[in-house]
Amino acid sequence: MIAYLAMATGFLLILIGFYGALTNRNLLRMIVAFTIADSGVNLVIVAVGYMRGRTAPILDATVPAADAAARIIDPVPQALVLTAIVIGVGVTALMLAYAYRLYEKKRSLDIAKFMDLKW
């Protein structure tokens, strides 16, 4: 159940993020919206790997190596989400830098101001 909840929240976050990104004309707001969507994605990824009643995939005293398969949740989504997060951070940073330069150029953060290229 908790997985469904997390997953639904994740999806909702994605939708909210998209809505924000697709309707806000301010570059910074768009970037923020995308980070929200990213968080949603990450949430969904983690939620997919969740298995009820199991523990984190770290072998220690409570989780012996021999018994691990029955005790731990799926470690793969966790590994993936790590990568996804870092990539998200990278992209966000890049977008911010772009936004900065765009602002510098036109003294505006309105996406509709940057339509020199079209058709």
Partner 1 sequence: MVNALFIIAAALAAAFLLGLLKEQWRGAAYAVTLVALGFMTWISADWAWAFAMNGAAPVDIFTAGTEPPFAINLRMGRPEAVLTLIVNLTGLLSALAMKDALLALGRRAMAVLLVATMAFCGIILTRDIFNLFVFFELAAISTAGLILLSDDDRALSAGFKYLIVSQVISVFLLIGIIFAYHATGTLNIDGMADAAQALLPGGMQAFALAFFLMFMALVAELKPFPANGWALDIYESAHPAYSAIFSAAAGTASLYAVDKLLLIGGAAWLPAATGIGIVTFVGANLLALPQTKDRRLLGYSSVAQIGLILAVLGQRDVLGDLTSFIALGLLVAHSVAKAGLYWLSGLIAGRELTAWAALRGHPLMVFAFATFLCLLVGLPPFPGFYAKWELARVLAAEGRLALLAAILFGALVEAGYLFRWFGHAIKRDKPAEEISCAPFSVAAVCIAVVAGWALGLLWGEMAGFLFGRSNLLLALPLLFALAFLLLDFLPAWLKNTLAIAGLAGFFALTWTEYDPLRLIFAIIFTLGGAIVLLASFSAHGRRIGFYPAAMLMYAGMVMLIRATDTFDFFAAWELLTVGSYFLILRGKHSEPHALSYLVFSLGGAFLILMGFALAAGSGVSPRLTFDIASLSQLAQPVAPWVFLLLAIGFMTKTAAIGLHIWLPGAHAEAETDVSPMVSGILLKAGLYGLFVLLMSMGKQQLYGVELTTLMLWIGALTALLGNLMAIFQEDAKRLLAYSSIGQMGYALFGLALMNHLGWLMALMFVINHYIYKSMLFLAVGGVAKRTGTRAMYQMGGLITLMPLSFIAVLIGIIAMSGVPPLSGFGGRWIFYNAILDTDQRLPMIILFFSGPIAFLYLFRLIHTIFLGQLKDEHRKLKEAPFWVVVPQMIYVVLLLAFAVVPGIALRRVDEYMNQFFPEGGLDWSGLLITSNYGYWNPVAIMIIVGCIFMTLFGWLLFVNRRAQKVKQFNIVFAAERPYRPETTHFAWNFFAPYRKALGFLVQPFATRFWDAVTGSLHAAADFTRRFYTGNGQTYAIQLVGFVVVVFLLARGI
Partner 2 sequence: MIKRVSVLLLLLAVGAIFATLLAGYEADPELNLTARYYADRTAADIGAANIVTAIVVTYRGLDTLGEVTVLFLSAAILGLVLAQGRKREQARRERVPAGELLTTGTRILAPLIMLLGVHVFVNGHLTPGGGFQGGAIVASGVLLLLLADPVKHFAHGLIAAVESLAGIFYVAIGLLGLLLAGGFLDNRFLPTGELGALFSAGAIPLIYSLIGLKVGAEFSAILADLSDTEEL
Residue 83 near partner 2 by CB under 8 A: yes
32 or 72: whose CB is closer to partner 2? 72
Residue 78 near partner 2 by CB under 8 A: yes
Q: Which does 60 bind (CB under 5 to 8 A by kind): partner 2, partner 1, none?
A: partner 2
105 or 116: whose CB is closer to partner 2? 105
Q: Are 71 and 54 within 8 A, CB to CB?
A: yes
Element of type H or E holding 1: none
Q: Which residue has the tokens 């009820």?
A: 52
Burial class of 1 by CB neighbour count within 10 A (0 to 12, 13 to 18, 19+): exposed
Which residue ranges make up the site for partner 2 (CB under 8 A)? 3-4, 7-8, 11, 14-15, 18-19, 22-23, 48, 50-52, 56-60, 65, 68-69, 72, 74-76, 78-80, 82-83, 85-87, 89-91, 93-94, 96-98, 100-101, 103-104
